[in-house]
Structure 1
Amino acid sequence: MPSADDSPARLDRVTVAVLLVAALALLVRVVALGERTVHWDEGRVGYWTLRFLATGVFEYRPVAGGPFLYVVDRAVFAALGTSDATARLVVAAVGGLAPLVALVFRGRLRGVETVLLAAVLGASPLFVYYSRFLRADVPLAVFALLAVACCYRAVDTGSKRGLYAAGLAVGLAATTSAFFVGYVACWGVAAALTFDHYRLLGEGAVARERLATAERALRARGRDVASAVGLALAVVLFFYAPRAGGGEGPGLWKPTTFPQVVDAAFAGTVAKFVGVRVVGRRHDGTHPFLPFVRDYAEVLAAVSLVVVGLAAVAFLRDRYGTREPRPIVAFHAYWAGASLFVFPVVTEVSAPWVALHTLVALAVPAAVGAGALVRLGRRAAARDDAASVAAVVVLALALTGHVGAVTASNVYASPSPENPMVHYAQPADDLNPLIEDVSVAIEGNDGTDVVFYGERFVDGYRADADRPPVNDEWGNRLPLPWYFERVGAETDGVYDAAALDERASTPPVVVADPNARSTLDSRLEGYDARTYRLALWNREVVVYVRSSA
């Protein structure tokens, strides 16, 4: 319940504070946004978005993630050009504006808790890092949290806009990632446990009456609910609909194929998802459960310990230390608890970004826990209890200092294996100088610009990899396909030195495994050769660039 001092003037101050937090959150996300070399996942999304921009052809492929980033980034590339910064701009904007979601919670949170929720969403190191990353985890987390907040608003106020906003947010969340299925599972578990929570507290009749009231409200507002569901489905249709790009087959902008488009966007999407993410994982797609849970917990402990601790305090206090427990605290705590088991199962790789999907659930109880600390300090100040005030201030400084230290040392630092937020597939070297050299080297060149040398890059490679799935040889080139496509380089591959010698002319750029230097150095005289690390460890290439260029 909101506090009694939430007067209109108070709400205005809260709004201003949240807007300030959002402005700062945007700033920390866009500063030097393009400085870090793209991760392999970013390279995949960026490359296939470029191919979508060039061909106009697109269809949902489960192995490539949801369609949200491809569709939106295509428009961004067309308007602003292509770079590492513009590729990440949409995610940075969504992550930077996430603190505004706190304003939708004002009916359930006190004023100070609302501001603190904005601060958690804006300043949590893991959120900041992956808001500067071309993956859909942050958009999914933000849209999912917004959907829950809008549902609260619709239930509490009877607002039609709340219902429609919830429908829009759910639709957007469903277009971001297959992890959306995990959110639905977590919400179901959290709702059931929250109801049981109140039943065990002896308030089962109250909980049942609330459910009955909600059911009656839904029936009375059936038209609005149906409209909200229709809005969600319309969003899903827009993003999942195939694009034909002027070619054959069904396409969103081809009215005569609309029935096929609808079938592809809904039935086709479900069939593809089940085939790849469920049936296709029965054997080689499975993984040990406990090691993934361990990695998950280690990431949360290393970079989000403050949020986890505050959320735990809020949950325990709400469950055992108050006469008027708050459903919002229980629901989000159970949501976070369920996610600790759901996402290690649904993910296919153990990666730091997966922890975001627990962190977003913990944000609300963490804000409540931090609010309790603020109220403790206020009461101590009112009693002139200097010792208690000092203790609260020291604790608050320690918590904020920890968050600041983690952000400063891990978000903007050069990638390294010691950084718990960085995944293995993050290149350890800055590739921007290389791409500048390649861009100059291929200028005015006729024919092939870049040749990949050796079976590691060539065996089974398809030069027309406009859409996934692709083979391992294409994956071994990551993230270079994004950079070479961006500068318009024409690429090819050769298996061995004989094939390279047979070419009519040597290309301006040759990429090879470092083990091939003894063979290539003598053949590529007049080239500058440099070795680059395309991962945190054990993934190097040597790139020859014609020095005359």
Structure 2
Amino acid sequence: MSAAESSAGVGTRVDRVALAVVALTVVALALRLVGLGSRPFHWDEARVGYWSLRFLDTGAFEYRPVAGGPFLYVVDRTVFALVGATDATARGVVAVVGGLAPLTALLFRGRSTAGDAPPRYRLDDAETVAFAGLLAVSPVLLYYGRFLRGDVPLAVFSLVVVGCAIRILDGDGAGYRYLGAAALGLALASSAFVVGTLVCLLAAAVLTVDQRRLVGEGASARDLLERAAERLRGSTRSALGALGILLAVHLFFYAPRADGSIRPSLATVDAAVLGSLRKFYGVRVVGRRQGGEHELLPYLSAHVETLLAASAVVLALAFVGFLVDRYGRGPSRPVVAFHAYWAGVSLLVFPIITEESAAWLAVHTVAPALVPAAAGVGLLVRYGSRALDRSDATGVAVAALLGLAVAGQLGVAVAGTAYGPTSTENPLVHHAQPADDLDPFVADVSAAIEGNEGTDVLFYGTTFVPAGETSVDRPPVGVTWGNRLPLPWYLERLGAETDGVRDVDGLAAIERPPPVVVADAGQRSTVASHLDGYETSTYRLSLWNREVVVFVRA
């Protein structure tokens, strides 16, 4: 074969890989966008949606660490202004980011390789497609890719940062430095868990360099670090350009806003950079020291249980891929080791830093584990390919059966989790997920308050109404307002005016009650005795211990 023919063959193969990744990206987007609004809002989703609507209404925004990163609030505010606020449009940002995640696999793709051996530092063609496929259909990423939290955006942007760093270390253009800087800025704005991700990345880098030192591969650790720092920094011009992009993205999301716009000034820059750090430290560090501690073992065991229940196939592939790459024949690949260590360290880091044990922590372990998992799939593909070349029917059958088993188990996991029931049987469902459909609530309230003047919805009881006046224009807010979740999101969408009374005397003093009254289900008879001509419905606002009765004027 001539050099030209060989080059053409490589180009065709690369094009096929890119087309396969694009096709998987389309599948990933479809899986996340279809039926996006079918599940009612979780309490966390309702908080993000509500504050985004308040931002749209008032034009005022200020970073509040207790409310998470500013990325979703700023972007959703624009989405609501353009296409309106619904469960689907609110989740659309996360769905699109998660749906485009398979494209990041191209950053990890190796160049042409000799024979059937994987590339020295990157993923081969089969592994690249496998990585994209796992990003598309991994149950944890799929479920929380249809959920209004910053975990999936943080994971995706972090993978982009690492992918761009790999390209830069391999000597590719400065464009990857700029893309990586933008992705880092987006990661910093996505979630407070970015601190944990940075710790994992640093630990994974140290372990990867130390592994190469122990096995005597390549240059010394000091030479490796010096060379890596030099390539990552690049020329002064490109380094300053990347720093400028990072600061611009950070300022865009963290700068306080008035009337919906950022006022350029030194005070704004100080609030976005130093002010955000001071707030974060005060809330997430000092605040945690004053009563936010928790035992590690229960959180760690819950995290592992979630991973095994929802992502056992992915973890098994990652374990095999890492072990074979680390201890098999030939030199190990830093890209596989790095992501395996990243996933391994995350098993400990995120249960430590989280304030609540929840299934979304699995996102931060599964995302990096997909790289060694793709290496595990590559092993299976190469085994089957060699068996086919040797006309080994038994080997081909074994490879096919293993492939079908992996695909089948992934399909079962997706059906049981990402599209599974909203119940305790689903390992990814958090207890603050409403157990009932809230579309009837929205329809009833919308019809009841149409044309009404004054208060539209009245909350009754000390569970929902604080003793004194409190502002809910910005977080943090009181516990009683939190007890109303996720209803504030739906009521704010409808433009409903709300009020509250704490006891029967307050209810009796109202000459004409509002068209809608919400109370704890245990107060049904008490409230009903003071309301004539109202129809009632009961809704479970969580998987357990949160049931409300809604009175709607007939």
TM-score (norm 1): 0.95
- Work out which of the residue numbers 358, 366, 391 in structure 1 matches 2:365: 358
Once the two structures are TM-superposed, the CA of residue 222 in structure 1 deviates from its matched residue by 3.0
CA distances 1:206-233 after superposition (whole Å, capped 9, x unpaired)? 5543333333435652331222122111
Distance apart, 1:462 and its partner CA: 4.9
The answer to whether 1:225 aligns with 2:239 is yes
Alpha-carbon distance in structure 2 between the residues aligned to 1:4 and 1:194 = 33
Distance 1:447 1:230, change over 3 A: same
Range with bigger deviation, 207-216 or 191-200 = 207-216
Kindly provide the amino acid, as one letter, of the partner of residue 25 in structure 2: A
Deviates more, 1:403-412 or 1:468-477: 403-412
Query: Matches of 1:22 and 1:223 in 2, distance apart?
Result: 34
1:203 Cα deviation (Å)? Answer: 2.5
Distance 2:221 2:52 in 1: 48
- 1:527 matches 2:541: no
Look up the equivalent residue of 1:10 and give its one-letter code.
Answer: R
Q: How many residues end up aligned between the 2 structures? A: 538
**Aligned with 2:148 (options 101, 114, 134):** 134
Give, in whole Å, the separation in 2 of the partners of 1:460 and 1:189. 48
| Residue pair 2:168, 2:232 contacting (<8 A) in 1 also | no
Match of 2:275 in 1: 268
Aligned-partner residue type, residue 254 of structure 1: R
Provide the residue aligned with 2:488 in structure 1. Answer: 481
Mapped to 2, the partners of 1:219 and 1:438 lie a distance apart of: 57
Residues 215 and 463 of structure 1: is their aligned pair in 2 closer, same or farther, counting only changes over 3 Å? Answer: closer
In the alignment, the residues of structure 2 paired with residue 140 and residue 193 of structure 1 have an alpha-carbon distance, to the nearest angstrom, of 22
After superposition, where does 1:49-64 map in structure 2 within 5 Å?
Answer: 49-64=52-67
- 1:510 is matched with which residue? 517
Question: How far has the Cα of 1:406 moved from its partner?
Answer: 1.4
User: In the TM superposition, what are the counterparts of 1:427-446 in structure 2 within 5 Å?
Assistant: 427-446=434-453
Partner of residue 197 from structure 2, selected from 183, 203, 228 = 183
Counting aligned pairs with the same residue, the percent is 57
Instruction: Name the structure 2 match of 1:98.
Output: 101
Distance 1:366 1:82 in 2: 38
Cα distance in 2 for partners of 1:71, 1:109 equals 35
How many angstroms apart in 2 are the aligned matches of 1:439 and 1:180?
39
Unaligned runs of 5+ in 2: 1-5, 111-121
Q: How many Å separate the matches in 1 of 2:7 and 2:416?
A: 41
Partner of 1:371: 378
Structure 2 CA distance, aligned partners of 1:325 and 1:254?
51
Q: CA deviation at 1:6?
A: 7.6
User: Does the 8 A contact of 1:33 with 1:85 survive in 2?
Assistant: yes
Q: Distance in 2 between matches of 1:320 and 1:163?
A: 33
Give me the whole-angstrom Cα distance separating, in 2, the residues matched to 1:303 and 1:393. Answer: 23
1:313-343 CA distance string (max 9 Å, x none)? 1111111112211010111111111111111
Cα deviation, 1:107-144, whole Å, max 9, x if unaligned, reads 32111111100001000011111111110111000000
2:500 match: secondary structure: strand
Q: Aligned residue for 2:91?
A: 88
CA distance in 2, matches of 1:410, 1:167: 34
Are 2:177 and 2:232, in contact at CA under 8 Å, matched by a contact in 1? no
Residue number among 65, 68, 81 corresponding to 1:65 in the alignment: 68
Q: Mean alpha-carbon deviation: is it higher for 201-210 or for 167-176?
A: 201-210
**In 2, Cα distance between the equivalents of 1:373 and 1:184?**
32
Match of 1:35 among 38, 49, 53: 38
CA distance in 1, matches of 2:470, 2:450: 21
Gaps of 5+ in 1: 247-251
Q: How do 1:295-334 and structure 2 match up within 5 A? A: 295-334=302-341
RMSD of equivalent CA atoms: 1.6
Give the aligned partner of residue 177 of structure 2. 163
Letter aligned with residue 236 of structure 2:
G
Query: How much does 1:193 deviate?
Result: 0.6
Aligned position for 1:249: none
Residues 105-504 of structure 1 correspond to what in structure 2 (within 5 A)? 105-107=108-110, 108-203=122-217, 205=219, 207-218=221-232, 221-245=235-259, 253-255=262-264, 258-460=265-467, 462=469, 464-504=471-511
